[in-house]
């Protein structure tokens, strides 16, 4: 995600940073070894892809895998062959070292180095709001009850980089069926964990932690919408959002909220993290659309990470056959 908090009016007043907090943050950033020009980069958000972060270095062994859990034996899950790609899969070590997860760092290449202390078990997910059967699931209990499958999906970040990944997960509608939403439920609101001791980036109070996102019920029940618990045939790694994240491949990646702890059914459109921070640059829908430029760059093409391949961006990231009907007026 690229943000540039240049002017006071671009962020809500409650997000403006008092001097003492700024000084504390500076100390904290210095402790991370982020100083001078790179401090400015960190405060403004991550660097523009391709500027100083290369994803093409020699790949190290896979990293970020949590201690195997009680459901580790469910991976790899059977692949659903219905979902095919128009491009090669991204190499796992490349995807594993190029992550947007601001709770750890605004620098994509730092995230995987900062996730070691992150504890993804025990982990509970609370489902509440306008449902007949609100309940709290232990993650392994939930995963065992869900129909896990592997899908090859394209992923398009709003910053114009892209990858192709084998996710393992289950359709959101399988979970929705368990809790039985009321007819008044129109939206899902999802929230990430909140633990600055384990996630060092959460000490940066420029951001309105914890991360929050939302979908309409029609989007959440679409065939493509997945809750993901695995990647590359094993459990989800920490930097990709263990133990459970959202994946909606027709939307820019910022929709795909990681490490979810709460799902709430509501009748009001929920606020979302980036649209709260920078409303003129990010919106609720987040649908991939090459014809609508980001205010600061074009969305017409995308760069496949780990390669020099640049491709034309497709409307709905190429998933129009599944989702275009959702947006017909
Ligand atoms: N979820 C949380 N909680 N925090 C984040 O910073 N970044 C989003 C999304 N989900 C983010 C998040 C963005 S901008 C992108 S592009 C994807 O995660 C990146 O997913 P990946 O690191 O698995 O490629």
Q: Using one digit for the tens of pLDDT, what is the confidence trace for 120-173?
A: 999 999 999 999 999 999 999 999 999 999 999 999 999 999 999 999 999 999
Ligand 1 pocket, residue 248 CB under 6 Å = no
CATH topology of domain 61-327: Sulfite Oxidase; Chain A, domain 2 (3.90.420)
Q: List the residue whose alpha carbon is closest to atom 22 of ligand 1.
A: 99
Indicate the pTM of the whole model. Answer: 0.85
Residue nearest to atom 12 of ligand 1 (CA): 257
SS3 per-residue string spanning 133-182: CCEEEEHHHHHHHCCCEEEEEEEECCCCEEEEEEEEEEEHHHHHHHHCEC
User: Does residue 201 or residue 47 have the better pLDDT?
Assistant: 201
* Placement of tokens 């491949």 in the chain: 249
pLDDT at 263: 99
The pLDDT value given to residue 63: 86
Rounded-to-integer distance, Cα 119 and Cα 101, Å: 15
Give residue limits of the domains in the chain.
11-57, 61-327
pLDDT classification of 329: cutoffs 50, 70, 90: confident
Centre of ligand 1 to C-alpha 256, Å, is 6
Return the structure tokens found at 90.
Answer: 């991204």
Distance CA 162, CA 317 (A): 10
Q: Whose CA is nearest to atom 11 of ligand 1?
A: 101
Distance CA 226, CA 23 (A): 41
The DSSP bridge partners found for residue 228 are: 169, 245
């Amino acid at each position: 995600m690229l943000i540039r908090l240049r002017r006071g009016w671009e962020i809500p007043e409650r997000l403006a940073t008092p001097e003492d907090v700024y000084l504390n943050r500076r100390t904290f950033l210095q402790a991370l070894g982020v100083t001078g020009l790179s401090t400015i980069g960190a405060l403004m958000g991550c660097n523009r892809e391709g500027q100083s972060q290369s994803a093409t270095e020699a790949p190290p062994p896979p990293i970020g895998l949590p201690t195997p859990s009680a459901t580790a034996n469910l991976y790899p899950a059977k692949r659903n062959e219905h979902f095919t790609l128009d491009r090669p899969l991204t190499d796992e070590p490349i995807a594993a070292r190029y992550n947007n997860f601001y709770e750890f760092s605004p620098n994509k290449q730092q995230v995987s180095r900062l996730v070691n202390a992150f504890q993804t078990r025990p982990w509970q997910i609370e489902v509440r709001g306008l449902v007949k059967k609100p309940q709290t699931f232990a993650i392994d209990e939930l995963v065992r009850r869900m129909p896990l499958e592997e899908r090859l999906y394209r992923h398009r970040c709003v910053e114009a980089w892209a990858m192709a990944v084998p996710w393992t997960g289950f359709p959101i509608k399988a979970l929705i069926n368990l809790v039985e939403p009321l007819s008044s439920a129109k939206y899902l609101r999802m929230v990430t964990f909140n633990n600055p001791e384990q996630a060092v980036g959460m000490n940066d109070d420029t951001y309105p932690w914890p991360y929050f996102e939302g979908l309409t019920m029609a989007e959440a029940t679409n065939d493509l919408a997945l809750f993901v618990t695995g990647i590359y045939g094993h459990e989800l790694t920490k930097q990709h959002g263990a133990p459970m994240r959202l994946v909606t491949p027709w939307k820019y990646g910022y929709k795909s909220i990681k490490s979810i702890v709460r799902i709430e059914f509501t009748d009001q459109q929920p606020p979302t993290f980036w649209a709260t921070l920078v409303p003129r640059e990010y919106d609720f829908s987040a649908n991939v659309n090459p014809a609508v430029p980001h205010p600061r760059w074009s969305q017409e093409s995308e760069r496949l990470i780990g390669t020099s391949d640049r491709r034309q961006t497709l409307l709905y990231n190429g998933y129009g056959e599944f989702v275009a009907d959702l947006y017909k007026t």
